[in-house]
Amino acid sequence: MTDSEIVELYKNKAEAVACKIVEYKTIEEAIPYIIKVVEEKAPCELLDDEDVEKGPLSPNGVPTRIQPVLAAPHCDEAFYKKFSEACEAKGYKCISKGLRNYLAGIDVGIASAVLGIAETGSCMVDTSKEDIRLSTMICEVSILVLKKSTIKPTLISVAEDLRSHIGASSASYTTFISGPSRTADIERVGAIGVHGSLEMHIILLEG
Amino acid sequence: MEEAAKTLKEYQEHIDEALNDKFLRKTLDKFAVEYRVSRDNVFKEVPGADCVQKIADTKDWCSKHLEELYEQFKTEAEKRGVIVHRAKTAKEANEIVVKIANENAVKSVVKAKSMTAEETMLNVKLIQEKFEVVETDLGEWIIQLRDEGPSHMVMPAIHLSRYQVADDFTKVTGDAYNPEDIPQLVKVARVQLRKKFNHADLGISGANFCIAENGTFGIATNEGNGRMVTTIPKTHIAIAGLDKLVPKLEDALNVLTVLPRNATGQRLTANVTWINGAGECEIGKDGKKNLHIIFLDNGRTEIAKDPLFSQIFRCVRCGACANVCPVYRMVGGHKMGHIYIGAIGLILTYFFHGRDKAAILSQNCIGCEACKDICSGGIDLPELIREVRTRCHDEFGTPVKEVLAGKILKDRKRFHTFLKFVRFSQKPMADNEGFIRHLPDILFSRHKFKSLPALAPKAFREMWTDLKYTLESPTMRVALFSGCVQDFVYPEQLEAFIKVMKHHNVQVDFPEEQNCCGLPMFMMNQNDVAKEIAEDNLKAMSAANYDAIITLCASCASHLKHGYHTILGDAANAFIEKTTDFSSFMVDKLGVTSELLNKSGEKVTFHSPCHQCRGLGVVEQPHALIDMAAEYVPCAEEQVCCGFGGSYSSKFPEISSQILANKVRNIKETGASRLVTDCPGCIIQIRGGVHKAGLNVKVSHIAELLAENLKP
Ligand code: SF4
Ligand code: SF4
């Protein structure tokens, strides 16, 4: 497979598991897209008690956030600066740590993938840092940033990367993520959004 | 949870209940058809057969190096701050969990799905000890609300309807739900369980693989609950069977390539989590997770040493062996395994939950080999199930009826005299279509669903003197192995065969000392009798004198080829090599073309006998033959069992009849006016089913179709 075939295969398989894929040259250029995602989404449900101003009940009968919360923990500093400014301009709350204070749910979590797996449409994300892990778990919309050049063809072909990644620190927690959380546990009818993310967007970057 | 049946009668009652559950039947039927399609679609994208072989090889190696793997994992995991435990029994595992929970002042527990924890019945123990326990996998949560066990290893609540689920949820929340809105029902779990995750003191998960090289364990989940359970509480306990140990990451990735595809037709689960060491946890002591892993033995080290059953280690719990099982499709999981479900469930019940529970269950296998064919680890499941039955027999004694049958079958002359007696006594009951009209109730009270055939007035062996012929210079010289059914019930099928052979210049011999192939005795676990019969047949058929030994019965063929090797070892090789089924002989050995055949306009469909398509790997040859003599029309689910299974259909007639009903429905849908197959057992079953359903479809052996269409 050529590189562009691998990218095409990745897109195809990721879309098959309900990922939305957008392409940008740099992550900074994607900031308006992320803001638009927040503008278009329904208010975040508060699934646990939190001392915060609440909006009307959601269709599931749950109170909602008035001020959207976006998390981008442990990311590139230059990006975070621009990103948090953009959020501020919109009146959104942007956080980079302390996600345990938001276990009731956040609107959007942003994380970088170490690599992609074309065969399954997956991202490998280093979630050793607890805040990164939480940001991809308790968010309603999960946004993963993936560089095209890091996409590998098959599951088995990521073995070495996974190994060196695991071995790099004394303890690690790595996740392969393939689409939003889903279930078919009721009458085998597929439904998206169980305990984890309700939506997943992949920002594919050149390079 | 439902108690396991202690007697066959009680078990049959449980089964009747399941068969009458309309929702269950509809769901499992739909699932069986849809599963095949989605699974095959994603399976063909990967080198599936190679991956399965690799799983088998790796796990076979693991079962022999279990202690080394365990030690390596333990050393590596401990280096990274994980506390590693080992439990000899289910009870011990549960006690370890309770101890850890008490030491950490745990009150509430959240669990992600773990079949191993189901095996130890951990919830029962935790609830006894007054912990609050919540299952967080949606299916597991639903069955927990109902106090039931899982009915499928991957889809634990597949037996429940949306209405039942909506009612159960209403009981928990007091709110009413629209059962038609399944996405909303799913959100109930999201809303109800987030607080449980957030405030739990302990998370319990399973593990799909434990990787010795670096002490990592991996968990595959879809709903996101696996990551919640392993992240939010400050203590995490993973429970894994010793069989989950593998040497390297590559081994785990190889399993992952197959497991989700085979389980539910997904390329990969939404999350796969690789946990290595006690990592960051803001609320933990020193900011670290309190991480434990418990390895459960519960008989596994013994299984690993068993030359036959060590194959169990290859099981990756994909559940596929239930997905394709025609019996599972009819009766569902609660009737097919104590905790583990499906083909593997019949086996594991014996090892993990006791012989008394397995003795009855292990009889509910029709031997169709669909499970073996699809298994992620290439386990010979039907053979292991048969062996479980043998062991149960050895422990509980063989039923009298079966001992008697063995005595009769062993002695060819006595067997044939017995058949002649039956033929005599059935005379007034056979109608002119060759069906027994009025079944003697005592013998067949559970067997009325299909018309049974009568024994033929003249057996093939009695016709042989008149049929014998000698060719001047034949292309080939073959021996016919008739099998009992064609010899005594359907001699006309063999007559047709003789006609076809003669026409193609093939010399046929019929060695008259041959006996039954012995499969019925083998399936009834009378291994001594089966062996004696096999030895007699080897002698009678004198393979060296022939180019091929042909049988027109797929069950005989598969038993002569595979069963005889199991029974007699390499001593049977020369015989096995010569033995072939009719269709492959015609196409592969004789290389027939349409030259000597007329292609008629008749629309003919095909049933692929289990013992031919899976037992012998013969699939395309019969299609080619039909196409030479008629217009071939494919049949949906062609390779799904017809429900006959020899003595199975008399032991579980209700299940057998339901399987047959599906077959008849599929045949009807082809619009064909004739169905052919390559096995007289299937013909008994299908002809009877078609007759009972009043369908105007002729059912015959493929040899008969050819004999009718020979060019003059
Ligand atoms: S052989 Fe057939 S009936 Fe028996 S367990 Fe396997 S799939 Fe089920
Ligand atoms: S026995 Fe084979 S098919 Fe059945 S669950 Fe195990 S791996 Fe899957």
**Within a domain: residue B15?**
no
Q: Are B512 and B464 members of one domain?
A: yes
Integer distance in angstroms from the first to the last C-alpha of chain A? 18
B124-129: long-range contacts at Cβ-Cβ below 8 A with a sequence spacing of 24 or more? Answer: B125/B94, B125/B95, B125/B97, B125/B98, B126/B94, B126/B97, B126/B98, B126/B101, B129/B98, B129/B101
Q: Are B79 and B225 members of one domain?
A: yes
Q: Are B121 and B205 members of one domain?
A: yes
Q: Are B246 and B260 members of one domain?
A: yes
Per-residue model confidence as pLDDT tens digits over B372-410 = 999 999 999 999 999 998 888 776 666 666 666 666 667
Any idea which ligand is nearest the CA of B371?
Answer: 1
**CA torsion, ordered B605, B610, B612, B613, to nearest 10 deg:** 80
* Range B37-49 average pLDDT: 94
Q: Are B111 and B141 members of one domain?
A: yes
Q: Does B288 touch chain A (CB under 8 A)?
A: yes
Q: Which residues line ligand 1 (CB under 6 A)?
A: B 324-327, 343, 365-371, 381-382
Tell me how far apart the alpha carbons of residues B662 and B641 are, in angstroms, rounded to a whole number. Answer: 10
A 43-82 near B (Cβ less than 8 A): 45, 47-48, 59-62
* Range B354-368 average pLDDT: 86
Give, in order, the Cα–Cα distances in Å from A154 to each of A114, B150, B285: 15, 33, 39
- Name the amino acid, one letter, at B473: S
**Within a domain: residue B348?**
no
**Within a domain: residue B405?**
no
Task: For residue B238, give the DSSP letter.
Answer: E
Tell me how far apart the alpha carbons of residues B321 and B373 are, in angstroms, rounded to a whole number. Answer: 9
Q: What is the pLDDT of residue B297?
A: 97
Q: Which alpha helices (DSSP H) does B542-616 contain, by range?
A: 554-558, 564-568, 573-578, 582-584, 610-613
> Which three-class secondary structure string do you get for B664-685?
HHHHHHHCCCEEEECCHHHHHH
Answer with the one of B278, B301, B324 that is the final residue of a domain: B301
* Range B621-636 average pLDDT: 96
Whether this prediction's pTM lies above 0.95 is answered by no
Structure confidence at residue B3 as a pLDDT band (50, 70, 90): low
User: pLDDT: is B457 or A162 the higher one?
Assistant: A162
Q: Are B582 and B608 members of one domain?
A: no
B622: its two tokens? 């019969």
Check CB contact under 8 Å for B190 and A195: yes
Sheet containing strand B698-701, strands side by side: B631-632, B603-607, B674-677, B698-701
Nearest CA in chain B to A119: B267
Q: Are B296 and B244 members of one domain?
A: yes
Residue nearest to atom 6 of ligand 1 (CA): B371
Tell me how far apart the alpha carbons of residues B500 and B704 are, in angstroms, rounded to a whole number. Answer: 9
Q: What is the pLDDT of residue B426?
A: 57
Q: What is the pLDDT of residue B4?
A: 65
Structure confidence at residue B526 as a pLDDT band (50, 70, 90): confident
Q: What is the pLDDT of residue B612?
A: 95
Q: What is the pLDDT of residue B442?
A: 30
Quick one: which of B188, B238, B203 has its CA closest to B131? B203
Range of the domain at B139: 49-301
Quick one: which of A67, A184, A127, A50 has its CA closest to B186? A184
pLDDT higher than threshold 90 for residue A169: no
Residue nearest to atom 8 of ligand 2 (CA): B318
Per-residue model confidence as pLDDT tens digits over B596-615 = 899 999 999 999 999 999 99
Check CB contact under 8 Å for B269 and A178: yes
Q: Are B288 and B158 members of one domain?
A: yes
Tell me how far apart the alpha carbons of residues B601 and B630 are, in angstroms, rounded to a whole number. Answer: 6
Distance B382 CA to ligand 1 centre (A): 6
Sheet containing strand B548-551, strands side by side: B506-509, B476-481, B548-551, B579-581
Query: Which CATH number belongs to the domain containing residue B107 in this structure?
Result: 3.40.50.10420
Q: Are B292 and B150 members of one domain?
A: yes
**Within a domain: residue B700?**
yes
Q: What average pLDDT does the structure give for chain B?
A: 90
Q: What is the pLDDT of residue A109?
A: 98
Q: Are B598 and B532 members of one domain?
A: no
Q: What is the pLDDT of residue B2?
A: 52
pLDDT higher than threshold 90 for residue B497: yes
Check CB contact under 8 Å for B268 and A120: yes
Answer with the one of B589, B613, B635 that is the final residue of a domain: B589
Q: Mark residue B147 as left, alpha or beta (left: phi above 0; alpha: psi -120 to 50; beta: remaining).
A: left
Q: Mark residue A98 as left, alpha or beta (left: phi above 0; alpha: psi -120 to 50; beta: remaining).
A: left
Task: Name the domain count of chain B.
Answer: 3
Which of B58, B214, B228 has the highest number of chain A CBs within 10 A, making it the mutation to test binding with A?
A: B228
Q: Mark residue B217 as left, alpha or beta (left: phi above 0; alpha: psi -120 to 50; beta: remaining).
A: beta
B448: its two tokens? 């009325």
B 7-36 near A (Cβ less than 8 A): 27, 30-31, 34
Answer with the one of B589, B610, B627 that is the final residue of a domain: B589
Q: What average pLDDT does the structure give for chain A?
A: 96
Report the largest interatomic distance among the alpha carbons of chain A, rounded to a whole angstrom.
Answer: 53
Question: Can you list the domains of chain A with their CATH numbers?
Answer: 3-205 (3.40.50.10420)
Residue nearest to atom 2 of ligand 2 (CA): B375
Residue B317 Cβ contacting ligand 2 at under 6 Å: yes
Nearest CA in chain B to A140: B190
Q: What is the pLDDT of residue B417?
A: 72
Q: Out of A125-129, B347-351, B452-456, which region has the weakest mean confidence (pLDDT)?
A: B452-456
pLDDT higher than threshold 70 for residue B625: yes
Tell me how far apart the alpha carbons of residues B162 and B400 are, in angstroms, rounded to a whole number. Answer: 47
ipTM here: 0.97
Q: Are B228 and B169 members of one domain?
A: yes
